[in-house]
Structure 1
Amino acid sequence: MENEFAKVMSERTDEELIKIVTIERGSYNPTAIEAADSEIEKRNIDTSEFEKIKEKATVEKEQKQKVDSNVVGSGIRFLNFIIDFIIWLIIAGILTFPLSAKDGNQMLLGYVIMFATFIGYYAIMEIKFQKTVGKFVTKTRVVKMNGEKPENSDIISRTFCRLIPFDRISFLFTKNGIHDFLSKTKVVKDTVE
């Protein structure tokens, strides 16, 4: 009878197979390891690369664990939200105050200004500092899933994802809110490295 994991292992990349038979070996069923070993042999993968890939994977795993251990909880995320919401309201209020709501065009302009200040506040602060005012107060910052500084495109994506309905309360139910999940970012304690 053919090993039940043979087909699954045949679909894995060389690097994935090497990780399975080295650093992740303890996480797999012995039959799956046997299928991975067999697939490595069948592909004639150079085993001299194992150590390099194993080292790289170990470093990535340790970095991910470090980031995951520093992810902040819902209470701090809620405090960040409250502080940032107040700051945004103040900025939007200052910029829209001169407008009177007498005609529809000025009212529309007011909404455009409010939208622009919302996008601008989060995007500019997080691109420049990896933080908003709320995150400065709570000593937290935004990072990619692997702990690196997010690209500008990650922050822009994160900012627009904040407009998704119920995003603001999604972090109350999970460690990462909708805008974190979709932009592949996390909010972590601001540790000095």
Structure 2
Amino acid sequence: MESLSDLEILNIITDDKDSHKLADIKQAQRIAEKRGLDIYLYINDRDTYFRIAKKEKAIDNRASIRLRLINFIVDFFSFVVLISLIHSILSNFGSDSIKYNWSNYQRIIGSVILFLYYFIQEFFWNKTLGKIVTGTIVVSEKDQKPSITELIMRTACRFIPLEAFSFAFMKDGFHDIFSKTKVIENKK
């Protein structure tokens, strides 16, 4: 039932309630409350309800899949350059242990660098290099600067296998959903 649109949920509660079980109606009411749907306004003044809903939808300025893909590509190549520089520095100036056992250290160093790459940029500037290129920023669900906890969760979720492609199949990627953040276009 979570996948139903707002209109379908409202119809279950109001117009179609005679054709649904009581448990379904109660579940639809919980979903409507969770989504902040104004049932009273929907019942009494549908024109106003739809006018408000249309305005709220227009305000949703989430970044498109195309922009998200560009963000990913730019950040991926930036990370590769960064890790290559670090490898070069460690190979030239690091201990012999690091030089000869790079493959053993690569995963650990790469994971730490990846975490820091995203966390530091999003903490200080709400954006990474990819987001600078596309003019997007990271915000909380309430359109405010994300908290440290939200950013830690967001960054940690990037280590979920194939997570980078999750935004291609849904409105928000796993790292957006679990951290309660979103990427929006920043036209400033």
Q: Is TM > 0.5 for Structure 1 vs Structure 2?
A: yes
Deviates more, 1:144-153 or 1:115-124: 144-153
- Counterpart for residue 173 of structure 2: 177
Equivalent runs, 1:154-169 vs 2, <5 Å: 154-169=150-165
- 1:103 counterpart letter in structure 2: Y
Cα offset, 1:126, TM superposition: 0.3
Cα offset, 1:161, TM superposition: 0.2
- Counterpart for residue 94 of structure 2: none
Equivalent runs, 1:60-99 vs 2, <5 Å: 65=57, 69-99=60-90
When residues 63 and 149 of structure 1 are mapped into structure 2, their CA distance, relative to the original with a 3 A threshold, is farther
TM-score (norm 2): 0.67
Q: Percent identity?
A: 33
Equivalent runs, 1:2-151 vs 2, <5 Å: 8=26, 23-27=38-42, 65=57, 69-99=60-90, 103-104=100-101, 106-151=102-147
TM-score (norm 1): 0.65
Q: What is the number of residues matched between the two proteins?
A: 149
Higher gyration radius (CA): 1
When residues 121 and 151 of structure 1 are mapped into structure 2, their CA distance, relative to the original with a 3 A threshold, is same
* Contact 1:144 1:184 (C-alpha < 8 Å) held by counterparts: yes
When residues 26 and 155 of structure 1 are mapped into structure 2, their CA distance, relative to the original with a 3 A threshold, is same
CA distance, structure 2, for counterparts of residue 149 and residue 163 of structure 1: 22
- 1:88 counterpart letter in structure 2: F
Structure 2 residues not aligned, in runs of 5+: 1-20, 45-52, 92-97
- Counterpart for residue 47 of structure 1: none
After superposition, the C-alpha distances for 1:162-186 in whole angstroms (9 at most, x for unaligned) are 1111111111111211111111111
- Counterpart for residue 3 of structure 2: none
When the two chains are superposed, the root-mean-square deviation of aligned CA atoms in Å is 3.2
